[in-house]
Amino acid sequence: MADQLSKVFAALADPTRRDMVARLSVADSTVNELAEPYDVSLQAVSKHLKVLEDSGLVSRTRVAQRRPVHLEDNVFDLMTKWI
């Protein structure tokens, strides 16, 4: 099993996931909102989010009917410490 730092760098290796992280740094979004600018299926976006979740970069919560995706920016402290 890979350590968290390796998972984070692997998750950020994909340009679509890096773009999602950049967008989430501005505000939480739903899966549908995150999927809007991409010409891919919701299933593909969900797979990208699963990778980001597994690395600890994002989390999902439930607010009434919404399930916003939230950037866990404390993970960047781990990266900064390593660098």
Average pLDDT score over the chain: 91
% of the chain surpassing 90 pLDDT: 72
Write down the pLDDT at residue 2. Answer: 64
pLDDT, tens digit (0-9, with 9 covering 90-100), for 26-65: 999 999 999 999 999 999 999 999 999 999 999 998 877 7
Vertex 79 angle, CA 42 and 18, to 5°: 25
How would DSSP label each residue in 22-65? HHHTT--B-HHHHHTTSSS-HHHHHHHHHHHHHHTSEEE--BTT
Beta bridge partners, 70, equal: 59
> What pLDDT band is residue 19 in, cutting at 50, 70 and 90?
very high
CATH topology of domain 4-82: Arc Repressor Mutant, subunit A (1.10.10)
In the chain the first and final C-alpha atoms are separated, in Å, by 22
